[in-house]
Amino acid sequence: MTTLLAGDIGGTKTLLAIYALEGDRLIQQRTERFVSADWADFGELVNHFLAAEPSSTRPSHACFAVAGPVRQGRVKLTNLPWQLAQSALAAQCDLHQVDLVNDFAVLIYGLPHVQPDQHALLRPAVSGADPQAPVAILGAGTGLGVAIGVPTGTGLQAMASEASHAEFAPRNEAEWQLKCWLKQDLQIERVSIERVVSGTGLGEVMRWLLATDPGTADHPLTHVDSNDRSAATATAAATGDPLARRAMDLWLGAYGSAAGDLALQTLCSGGLWVGGGTAGKLLEELRSPAFLNPLEHKGRLSAVLEQVPVYALIDPEAGLFSAACRARMLMG
């Protein structure tokens, strides 16, 4: 049985898993969650995990999704003492080949292989979809992740991106007022897309409405902790609170517009994907006109968007699965 090692490394937790290659499918055999701070050395953690694996099924190829930018096969993790290098990890853990990939960009490698329970169609292409064309993914979580997949002779090549830190471009008066308020309130010179289009951004939109809309002094969300405001806003919007509904619709509009802009920038008629921690939780919102209309309506180039199918990646372990897909690619 051919096996692969996949990992999803974060500042708080690390997930490691063994996948078996059965035909064209990857089947998870074993997974374990570790507290990252409990381990001074990542290689020791990997060897501890692999020690439980029989020699007959020990993997030779691995991919680790890492929360941070990877440069020339090396990465320094934020909030951890780990400095990882592909060649050093391979030697320390007796692996033939190791790949380190940014934990959002790694999702690109899983997209061609997702199963029906891992994704959902948000909107089909009207015409002209091309499975051989580039793909792109963005996802609102704590921040806003963006990555691009470029077709090559051996499959998609993931390209990390900092597109979420481009300037937030208001489309209407409400978004303009929000942007001006954020600059003044946060004492910043510019507002990036991520300031608005992220899990945190939804809470900021709600905070702006609470601060500027008359008659909100007694609103239930006024005294909600900032760490909980985004989730509380989504819940209140779903249960019919008018102010929370306004916040959600503005946020969805900015999100959809950013998604449409990414499709124009990448011409991703192979597929535009929406991932991140909010995708599965807000699936019906992402299928609503509040999100899809700004995505589709791009003036003279609206016809280009008709060629782009739009999907949601809803598997909470998509990062681990995608790392396994990348490890399989390393085998050639």
Q: What per-residue confidence (pLDDT) applies to 77?
A: 84
Alpha carbon 203 to its chain centroid, in Å, reads 18
pLDDT at 124: 96
Q: Check residue 214 and give its pLDDT.
A: 86
What domains, with CATH codes, occur in the chain? 3-105+317-330 (3.30.420.40), 115-314 (3.40.367.20)
Q: pLDDT tens, 63-91?
A: 999 988 999 999 998 778 899 999 999 99
pTM: 0.95
| Residues 238-255: tens digit of each pLDDT | 999 999 999 999 999 999
How much is the pLDDT for 81? 86
pLDDT at 128: 81
What is the rounded CA–CA span in Å between residue 139 and residue 122?
Answer: 14
pLDDT for res 79: 77
Three-state SS string over the chain comes to CCEEEEEEECCCEEEEEEEEEECCEEEEEEEEEEEHHHCCCHHHHHHHHHCCCCHHHCCCEEEEEECCCCECCEEECCCCCCEEEHHHHHHHCCCCEEEEEECCCCHHHHHHHCCHHHEEEEECCCCCCCCCCCEEEEEECCCEEEEEEEEECCEEEEEECCHHHCECCCCCHHHHHHHHHHHHHHCCCCCEHHHHCCHHHHHHHHHHHHHHCCCCCCCCCCCCCHHHHHHHHHHHHHCCCHHHHHHHHHHHHHHHHHHHHHHHHHCCCCCEEEECCCCCCCHHHHCCHHHHHHHHCCHHHHHHHCCCCEEEECCCCHHHHHHHHHHHHHCC
Q: What average pLDDT does the segment 15-19 reach?
A: 97
Query: What is the Cα–Cα distance from 140 to 163, expressed in whole angstroms?
Result: 13
pLDDT digits (tens, 9 = 90+) for 23-64: 889 999 999 999 999 999 999 999 999 999 998 899 999 999
User: What integer pLDDT is reported at residue 30 of this predicted model?
Assistant: 95
Contact 64, 57 (CB under 8 A): no
